[in-house]
Amino acid sequence: MSIADSSYATKHTAYAHEGRTVGIMQDYEYVVDSDPNKHGKYLPLLRRPVFSPEQLRLKPVDCVLVTSYTYFDEILAQLDWFRASGGNVIRVYPTPEVA
């Protein structure tokens, strides 16, 4: 089963972005990135706006899909509050898994 087919890849998913577009999932609520230079800009090809991580608190989702391999551990630590409240975090690289 692909990560896009899993029960976590629902419409209530946020996409944590790291400068690349991943074509595995297009049905998500919004995109977040901690880089303030990206806030208010759009993902290439998908035309999705990029929000600050605060959006996760303002408009809660069931899970966050993280595409960053390099910063995954740092992002996961920043999402401790999200996981404590019942949210799931999906790691894309190197192998898709729910963290």
Please state the rounded mean pLDDT for residues 56-81.
90
State how many domains the chain has.
Answer: 1
Give Cα 31 to chain centroid, integer Å.
6
Domain of residue 29: give its range. 3-98
Pairing of strands 13-16, 30-32: parallel
CATH number of the domain at 42, please: 3.40.50.720
pLDDT tens digits for range 80-96:
999 999 999 988 887 77
Q: For residue 74, what are the contacts with CB-CB under 8 A and spacing of at least 6?
A: none
Predicted TM-score (pTM) of this structure: 0.71
3-22 residue pLDDT tens: 443 333 444 455 555 544 44
